[in-house]
Amino acid sequence: MQNILYHILRRMRRPLIVLIVAYAVSVLGFTLIPGLDDQGRPWRMDFFHAFYFVSFMGSTIGFGEIPYPFTAAQRLWATLTIYVTVISWIYAIGSLLAILQDARFRRVMAFAAFARRVRKQREPFYLICGYGDTGALLVRELAERGIACTVVDRDENAMHALEIEDLPLFVPGIAEDATETDTLRAAGLEHPACRGLIAVTGDDAVNLHIAITAKLVAPGLEVICRADHQDTQANMASFGTDHVINPFEAFAETFAMTFNSPSMHLVWEWVTAIHDTPLEDFLTPPIGDWVLCGFGHFGKALYRRIREEGLPVRVIESNPEGTHPPQDTVAGRGTEAHTLEEADIRSAVGIIAGTDNDANNLSILMTAKDLNPDLFTVARQNRRNNQAIFEAFNPDILMQPSTITARRILSLITTPLLEDFLELARRQDEDWANVLVARVTGVVTDRSPTTWALTLDEEEAPAVTGLLTEGTRITLRHLLTDPHAPLQPLPCVPLLLKRGATHILTPEADTCLRQGDKLLFCGNEAVHREMLLTARNFNMLHFIITGEDRPAGLVWRWLARH
């Protein structure tokens, strides 16, 4: 508010001085020019009457001469002061309107309104820096889950897009530089309800600056950042950034799974998928020679992983001097047939279009398919607004950096236990993954499953903890029972049981539960709601365990025991 007043007063200084001088001279003139009273005697206005007359004269012409009719000299002076005061008011009002329309003033006003709204926030929220493809996807998914957030992005067009976005929650946003500490503070960096900061701008240097600021200003706050470069990723990790997500490395890791553990890859894709998206199909890329177009950060990550699988890779790169590809690299973009021919595309089994240009990637794939229709195709989609044309081409695997980043961040925020599961699942063999795929397939439809965590404490599962305190033996099977059909199990799969430092993958239904246990499940949202009903309703859980109705009320329970 002080900045707003200062801005107005600084810009209005000259108009206010003109207005004050006009009124002062007008008032002084009326006190000096002699007039006549009703008896014809000489009379002069005092300052009060002069100021009163000039005040209403400046705003209207429908006035009377007070307290006595004016002389010719007074009327002449009044005529002059009418023009002077009216012109002064026009100048002042015009200047004020110009200030209100000024982009800098509107920016100050928007910043103050944004900061005021964030200060009034009482529900837990996340501060998101960057509203590009990743940020927009994150905001929508969080809002649909009832999780509040604030947004900072220096692009005004991005903030206009946020304003018109049809979201279930209101999301305040501001078009400011997220590297400024004052901006982050206004967005809630030090707010007691802020649960974490997420930096997903399109610039690694900006994300790094934001992470450093957050760790210095609010050291206890969880910080999640995107980093496209490995050196930036290492830099962020060096000063304690909680989670650093490199979408290129993440995709390269899961892509490598498709060669040696396709079922594990399927498990990975299913449990981390965006809510209500089509279920991923089973993919088995062919074994043989691969062609990789583009040797940037994405290309380097894929090249390293594919070579670790023992497969030959031929690289096509348009800037070999800047990216330092392997010695046998073909110079070119890969959009030309002769370049692909030089890379021996006709004998290859698969091609990866991994440049940072969507049009070039599609051109590479279309040209390659003309030369070798049997190719397995992998496409990198850089911008989400090109989704329709990539779907029209329909590559075998579509890599979207924004989606990969958003999926990982959502799992960290909504189901942190999923990270433990994925870490343990990596160490399992393909037979284990095959069994899990079969179990998950039996409880889902053609849409991606939902993963949820349940902690057996007073807040999330009061019925479970209450009965455990009474000494009742409760097993996982009881939680997996349909509360409306006690003879039927709920269609979901228990993925993980965490008990202290102990982790149990895919626990058995007969596993006994204890207070403080953390459970991770996979199914659909309706099953999640049914399970919460069981975990929170004493009578329902008691009936599932014993087959008997539990008396509702202390008196009836006492009578039932006696």
- Find out whether 151 and 186 touch, Cβ atoms under 8 Å: no
Q: Residue 559: what pLDDT?
A: 54
SS3 of 243, please? strand
pLDDT confidence of 284, banded at 50, 70, 90?
confident
Which ranges in 41-190 belong to alpha helices (H)? 47-57, 72-101, 103-119, 133-144, 156-164, 181-186
pTM of the model: 0.85
Radius of gyration of the chain (CA): 35
DSSP per residue over 458-487, as a string?
TTT-HHHHHHHHTT---BHHHHTEETTEEE
Name the one residue in this structure whose structure tokens are 């996982």.
476
Q: What is the dihedral of CA 457, 458, 461, 467, to 10 degrees?
A: 90
- Find out whether 255 and 378 touch, Cβ atoms under 8 Å: yes
Report in angstroms the alpha-carbon separations of 40 from 34, 37, 50, 197: 12, 5, 20, 81
pLDDT confidence of 207, banded at 50, 70, 90?
very high
CA dist., res. 455 & res. 511, Å (int):
15
First and final C-alpha spacing in the chain: 68
- Find out whether 403 and 274 touch, Cβ atoms under 8 Å: yes
Q: Indicate if the pLDDT at residue 550 is higher than 80.
A: no
Question: Within 10 A of 89 (CB to CB), how many other CB atoms are there?
Answer: 16
Question: Letter for the amino acid at 491?
Answer: P
CA dist., res. 521 & res. 507, Å (int):
10
Question: Letter for the amino acid at 34?
Answer: P
Q: Indicate if the pLDDT at residue 2 is higher than 80.
A: no
Name the one residue in this structure whose structure tokens are 């240009």.
357
CA dist., res. 392 & res. 381, Å (int):
13
The pLDDT > 90 percentage for the chain reads: 76
Q: What is the mean pLDDT of residues 417-445?
A: 91
b/e string for 248-260 if b means 16 or more Cβ within 10 A?
Answer: bbbbbebbbbbbe
The pLDDT > 70 percentage for the chain reads: 96
Q: Indicate if the pLDDT at residue 29 is higher than 90.
A: yes
Kind of pairing between the strands at 376-380 and 481-482: unpaired
Q: Residue 400: what pLDDT?
A: 94
Average pLDDT, the chain: 91
Axis-axis angle for helices 401-414, 247-260 (nearest 10):
90
Q: What is the dihedral of CA 500, 505, 507, 512, to 10 degrees?
A: -10
Question: Using one digit for the tens of pLDDT, what is the confidence trace for 41-64?
Answer: 999 999 999 999 998 886 666 567
CA 93 to chain centre: 42
Q: Indicate if the pLDDT at residue 555 is higher than 70.
A: no
pLDDT confidence of 296, banded at 50, 70, 90?
very high
Q: Supply angle C-alpha 88, 93, 97, rounded to 5.
A: 150
Q: Supply angle C-alpha 352, 353, 355, rounded to 5.
A: 135
Q: Indicate if the pLDDT at residue 292 is higher than 80.
A: yes
Structural domains present in the chain:
2-101 (1.10.287.70), 121-245 (3.40.50.720), 250-413 (3.40.50.720), 449-561 (3.30.70.1450)
DSSP state of 278: B
CA dist., res. 279 & res. 271, Å (int):
10
CA dist., res. 384 & res. 248, Å (int):
16
Question: Within 10 A of 553 (CB to CB), how many other CB atoms are there?
Answer: 8
Report in angstroms the alpha-carbon separations of 450 from 310, 524, 537: 35, 5, 23
Q: Residue 62: what pLDDT?
A: 58
Question: Letter for the amino acid at 368?
Answer: A
Q: What is the mean pLDDT of residues 540-559?
A: 70
Q: Residue 278: what pLDDT?
A: 82
Q: Residue 363: what pLDDT?
A: 97
